[in-house]
Structure 1
Amino acid sequence: MSETRTLVVKIPCWNIAVAGTSLDGAAVSLNNGRVAEATPTATSFGVVPGLNLRKAQSLCPSLSVIENNMIQSAQRFDQIVLALGDITPRIEVLDPGFCSFMTRGPSGYFGGDERLVEKVISILKNAFADLKLSKGLRPHIGVADDLFGASLAAYFTESRLSKIIDVGETLQFVKSLPTSVLFSGVGSFSFDSGLINTFLRLGLHSLGDIGSLQASDVLGRFGISGELIHRFINGLGNFPITTRSVPPGLEKKIEFEPPLERVEDVVRAAKSLGHQLSSDFSREGLTCLQVSIEIETEHGEKSFRYWRHEHQFIAANVGERVRWQLQNWLQSDSTLTGGIILLRIRPEEIVPHTGKQLRFWGGQTDEDFRASQAFEKVQKILGQNEVTLVAEGSGRQLTEFGIRVSFTQEALLSSERSKGFFDGLCTPWPGRLPSPSPAVVFSTPKPLEVFDVGGKPVQVSGRGNMTGQPATLVGMGVKARSIANWAGPWPVEEYWWDLSKHYRQARFQFVLEDGSAHLCVVERSRWWLQATYS
C-alpha cells in the first residue's frame, strides 16, 4: 500500500448545516459577500460558489442567506474530528468541513479501504445525529494514493457517499478529469484562474494534457505555479519535503506565568510565535505546510492537534488555528480546571521556499509587506475588526463601489486563492455608472428641484421619457443655477422580486454654469443630489 495513501472527508454545505438551515431548500453561505456554499436546490437555479449575492438572489428570489461564522463552524467541526479520533489520532484539519488522514494503519486494522470508509461513514452519521444537524447532510469521502487525488475523489462521489480509487489508479483518474475542475479549487488546493484559462486557450482541456508536458517546459512557460500543478497531476505532490529533521530552534513554545485565562491573550502569543517562525523559515529558505499545536493547562490537561495549509503558514494563520483549537477545547470539555501555562507550535512538514516572482508593474512590494505587518500589530491592540481597508465592491449603486472589510478579509480577497476561486465567475454589471467615478458621494442624498426653460418641474416616466429639457437646478443651499450641459436619463431598476428593497430611478449628469459637475437622480418624482465630481 502507498505510504501516502490518504482518506479525505469533505462535508458539503457544512456552514449552512451548522447554522441550522435545512439543506432541502435553496440556501447559500456567504464569505466576503460572495457565495461560498450552495445547497443542491440553489445550484439547480444556477447559483454556484463565487457569485455575488445580488446575482444569486436574481437567479433564485427565495434564497436563504447565511453569513459564515468561522468560529462556530470550527467548534462544531471539532466534534467531528474528535469522533474520528477513534480511528486515528493523526487527523489533519484543513478547514471547517474538510479533513484528511493517512490510511496505511487504519485501513490494515479495519480490513481494507472499503471497511475503513464504512466505519468513517458510520461515525459521521452518529456525530451528525449527536450535533442535531440537518438530516440531509451527506459527507463525501475520497480515498486515493495522495491528498490531491483523494480531494478530487471526494468531489466526484456522484450519487454515492464515497469514491475509492484503487491503488496505482490515481494518476489515471486524475488525468481523466477536465482542466476546468481547477477553477473552484480542489479541497485545500487553489490555483490562479488566469493560468487555468491559459491552459484552456492552449488546448489543454484535460489534466492529462497538462501532465503530459515536459516538466522543464512547464516551468519555463508557466513558472512555479504551473510546475506545482504539473507535479500534483503526476502524483509528485508538493515540492520535495525536506527529509532532515526540523532544524533546531524552529520549534517554538511559550510558558505563561501567571496562567492565562482569556483566549485572546493566548492568540496574541500565538501570533507572536508565528512571526518568529516566519522569520526563521525565511532565514532557512523554507516554507511550512503543517504544524502541530499543543496547549496545556496548569493542572496538566492537554489539547493536541495537527493543522495543514497548502500554501504556507504565516502569523495570522497560526493565530487563527490556535483560536479555533482553544475555543473548541473549552467548549467541548467543561472539566478544565486551570489557566493556560504552555503553548507549543512545532513545524511538522517543511519544504524549500520556491520564492516569488515579482511583477514589473503592480503586485505586492516590500512596502506592502511592511505595511501589512504594521496593520497586524495595530490589530493586536485594537481588535480583529478595527483595522479596515477599502475593497472593490459589486453593484450599481455608488455606495456599493467600495466596501469596508477587515484587514484579514482584504488580504484574503487579494490572495491567489481568492482569484482562482472567483475570477471568471463574476459577470459585469449592466447599468453601472461608468468611469470616472464621482469624487464625493453623499451618505445622505440632498433634495433638489429641476425645472425646464418654461419653469415647469422636470419629471421622468417609467419608460424613461422626460417632460422637458433640464435648464435650472434649485437646491444645495444656494439660489437657482443654470444647467450648462447634461446627459441622461439612465434608468436603473433593482430588486423587483423583493418589495421591501425594490427601487426604480433615473440618473442624470449635470454640468452647471460655474463648471461644477454633479450626479443627480429622480426617484418617485423627487430629485436628489447623489454625488459631485471634482
Structure 2
Amino acid sequence: MPRVVHFAIPNWSAISRGWTSDSGLEAAVVADRKVVGLSRSAFEIGIRIGMSTRSARGRSHAIALLERDPIQELRRFFPVQQALTSVSPYFRYVSAGSGYLHWSSVGRYFGSEEKLVRAIREAITGTDVVDGVEISDSDVVCGAADGYFAATLAAGMNLIVPPGATREFMDAMPVSVLGDSEMLSLLPQLGIKSIANLLSMRVSDISTRFGSEGIALYRLALGEEEVPDLLQLPDRKVSIESSFEQPIREVEPVVFSAIAEIRAPVTELLDRGMVVTSAEVTTITSKTSSSRSWTLFSGFDERSLAERVRWQLEGMMNCEVEESGWDGVVGWRVDLIEFVPSHGSQLDLLGIPGVIPEGMTRAMARAEAILGPESLVVPVAVGARSPDQTVDFLPWQRPVGEVSAGRKMPARSRGSGRRRLIGSRKLPVDAQDPPWPGGIADPRPAAVYLDRPAVELLDQAGSLISLSGRGELHGVPFQLNSPKGSFLVRSHLGPWLVEQRWWDDERSQRYGRLLLLLHDGSAYLVVVNSGRWFLEAIYD
C-alpha cells in the first residue's frame, strides 16, 4: 500500500464559525445527532466530539446545539487550502477540515515524513479563518502510515507509523475505529475487541455470522477498501474549461454554465465504464487564479464538480473583497485526474432511481380502491437463509420499516414459510430482519432454482464429494455435472453448515452449502443434504 500523509482539523465545524477560546460561548455543532464541533466552554464541561446529542444535553441543559453548515465550512476552508499550496500542489481534499497527500509525490523534496508533517502544521497554523480567528497548532492533527485508512487513524494520534509497521499498529486498535454501526457495538460483547481479533477469524465465519457488512469491515481492517483502485487515464487528457470576454461578478451564472459544460465529458466517461474520483479545479479572476485538487470517493457528477467551482470562487471573492475589491470571474478549468470503475446504479422499471411518478401513484391508489385494501403489493428484499426466501411482498404504500401486530401478510412468494405482519406499530428494521446465520451474503444470485435440480460434484478421480457431520469436505471439487452440462471447477469457497428448526423433529433441516467458481467465469451455489448435491443458485 502507498504511504499516505493525512491532516485534519477535528474541530473545524466550530473554528469555521469563528468561535474563539475566550468567547465564553457554551455551544456545540451537531450533525446526525452527534457532536462534530464544540466551543472551549463546552469542552471544559466534558462534552467531546463524537458524543451523542442526548449525552451532551445530559452534561449541560443550557448548551446551544447548532446544526452543521457544510457549505459555510467548505467556503471558509479556502484560506487553509491556499496556505497548503506553499507545501505542495498535490493535496487531495476529501471534506472541509481534512486532506491527504501521497508521500511519493513529495518524498524526494522533503526527504523525511517528519519534515513534511512539520511543514503542514506550520502552513496551517496562524491561518486567518474568519473575523480574525486563527488556527492554532493544537487545532491540527497530522500523521502518516501505509494506506489511507491507517493514515487517518495515525493522524488522530499525531503519529508517524514507520513503513512496514502499519499492520502491527492497526492490530492494536479497537474495532470501534472501523465505524459506528450497530454491528461494531456488538463485536466486543462477542469477545472481538480489537482489529487483531477480527482478522484472526476465518472469512467464511464472518460471512456466515455477519453477512456483507462483516466482509466489508474485514476488508477495511485489512486496508483493502480504503481509496478505490485507480484506472489508467483515458487516451487523452480530459479537461473542461471556459473563459469570458468580460468579468462576471455573480457566481451563480458561472456555476449554471459549468454544469452544462461538464455534463458531456462526465457522461462520456460513464459510458466507457469510468467515474471521476479526483479533479483539479482552477478558477480565474481578473486579479489572480487558484487551483485545488478535490476527491470524492463515491464519484463526481457534473453538479458536484460545479459545486467545487462555486466553493473556490466564493472563497476567492471573500478574500478579494477584503483586500482590494471584487472585479469578477474571467474563466475556470476542471482537469479530471483519477478514475475508478463505475458500478452503475439500479433503476426501476420506468428507468427512474427510486421515484414513482405522480400519475402512477394515482393509478395504483385507484386500483387499490377497486380491489380492496392491501391488494397491491411490491417485492421487498428480506433476510433469510435460503435464496428462494429472500423476497417478500408488502402493500405498496407501507414503509419497509413498519411491521405490525394483529394481521397476517398475504403469502405471495413461493417458498416463503415465514409470515410478515403489517399494521401501525413501528419497530426498528433490525427487529424484523435480524441476522441470519447460515444465510448468503450480498450480492444476491442472478438465478435461483426453486426446485433445486440434482447435480454431481466429483473430485479429480471421478469420486463423489461428500461432507462430514463436522462440515469437512472429503475430496477437492474438480468437476460439476449439472442439467446445464459438465463444468470444471476452478476454486471453491466454504462449506457452510446450515441448521434450521433444530427444536422441531418434523421440520428440522441440516445441510451444507458450497460456492463453486467454474472455469467459464460463472459461480454456482450448491447444497448437500443426506449425501446428495443440489443446485441452489447461479451467479453470472
TM-score, normalised relative to structure 2: 0.55
Q: Which amino acid in structure 1 is aligned with residue 149 of structure 2? A: F
Q: Which amino acid in structure 1 is aligned with residue 308 of structure 2? A: R
The equivalent residue for 2:73 is: 73
The answer to whether residue 148 in structure 2 is matched with residue 147 in structure 1 is: yes
Distance 1:5 1:274, change over 3 A: same
The equivalent residue for 1:344 is: 333
Deviation at 1:326, TM superposition (A): 1.0
RMSD (Å), alpha carbons? 4.1
The equivalent residue for 2:8 is: 10
Among 295, 311, 330, the residue aligned to 2:317: 330
Name the structure, 1 or 2, with higher relative contact order (CA <8 Å, separation 6+). 1
Q: Unpaired runs of 5+ in structure 2?
A: 358-422, 427-540
Distance 1:59 1:140, change over 3 A: same
The answer to whether residue 162 in structure 2 is matched with residue 166 in structure 1 is: yes
Question: What CA distance in whole angstroms lies between the structure 2 residues aligned with 1:163 and 1:60?
Answer: 33
Matches within 5 A, 1:264-283: 264-273=252-261, 275-276=263-264, 278-283=266-271
Q: Which amino acid in structure 2 is aligned with residue 347 of structure 1? A: L
TM-score, normalised relative to structure 1: 0.56
Question: What CA distance in whole angstroms lies between the structure 2 residues aligned with 1:239 and 1:67?
Answer: 29
Question: Are 1:35 and 1:51, in contact at CA under 8 Å, matched by a contact in 2?
Answer: yes
The equivalent residue for 1:382 is: none
Q: Match of 1:268, SS?
A: helix
Matched length:
355
Matches within 5 A, 1:35-434: 35-38=35-38, 42=42, 45=46, 48-49=49-50, 51-52=52-53, 56-104=56-104, 106-127=106-127, 131-133=132-134, 138-155=139-156, 157=157, 162-184=158-180, 193=181, 196=184, 204-212=192-200, 229-238=217-226, 241-246=229-234, 248=236, 251-256=239-244, 259-273=247-261, 275-276=263-264, 278-297=266-285, 301-333=288-320, 334=323, 339-355=328-344, 367-368=352-353
Distance 1:217 1:33, change over 3 A: closer
Deviation at 1:344, TM superposition (A): 2.5
Question: Are 1:246 and 1:347, in contact at CA under 8 Å, matched by a contact in 2?
Answer: no
Question: What CA distance in whole angstroms lies between the structure 2 residues aligned with 1:342 and 1:219?
Answer: 52
Write out per-residue CA displacement over residues 289-337 of structure 1, whole angstroms, 9 at most, x where no aligned residue: 211112234x584321100112222344323322211111222245688
Question: What CA distance in whole angstroms lies between the structure 1 residues aligned with 2:218 and 2:351?
Answer: 29
The equivalent residue for 1:460 is: none
The equivalent residue for 1:495 is: none
Q: Which amino acid in structure 1 is aligned with residue 7 of structure 2? A: V
Deviation at 1:19, TM superposition (A): 1.9
Q: Match of 1:151, SS?
A: helix
Question: Are 1:21 and 1:134, in contact at CA under 8 Å, matched by a contact in 2?
Answer: no
Question: What CA distance in whole angstroms lies between the structure 1 residues aligned with 2:350 and 2:191?
Answer: 34
Question: Are 2:6 and 2:142, in contact at CA under 8 Å, matched by a contact in 1?
Answer: yes
Question: What CA distance in whole angstroms lies between the structure 2 residues aligned with 1:205 and 1:332?
Answer: 48
Q: Match of 2:127, SS?
A: helix
Question: What CA distance in whole angstroms lies between the structure 1 residues aligned with 2:290 and 2:301?
Answer: 21
Question: What CA distance in whole angstroms lies between the structure 1 residues aligned with 2:141 and 2:350?
Answer: 41
Question: What CA distance in whole angstroms lies between the structure 1 residues aligned with 2:61 and 2:188?
Answer: 34
Distance 1:264 1:120, change over 3 A: same
Write out per-residue CA displacement over residues 192-225 of structure 1, whole angstroms, 9 at most, x where no aligned residue: x256457667654333344456678878987776
Distance 1:34 1:243, change over 3 A: closer
Question: What CA distance in whole angstroms lies between the structure 1 residues aligned with 2:191 and 2:32?
Answer: 34
Q: Which amino acid in structure 1 is aligned with residue 292 of structure 2? A: R
Q: Match of 2:290, SS?
A: strand
Question: What CA distance in whole angstroms lies between the structure 1 residues aligned with 2:349 and 2:32?
Answer: 21
The equivalent residue for 1:464 is: none
Q: Which amino acid in structure 1 is aligned with residue 8 of structure 2? A: K
Question: What CA distance in whole angstroms lies between the structure 2 residues aligned with 1:275 and 1:222?
Answer: 40
Q: Which amino acid in structure 2 is aligned with residue 83 of structure 1? A: A
Distance 1:40 1:277, change over 3 A: farther
Q: Which amino acid in structure 1 is aligned with residue 309 of structure 2? A: V
Q: Which amino acid in structure 2 is aligned with residue 16 of structure 1? A: A
Deviation at 1:56, TM superposition (A): 3.1
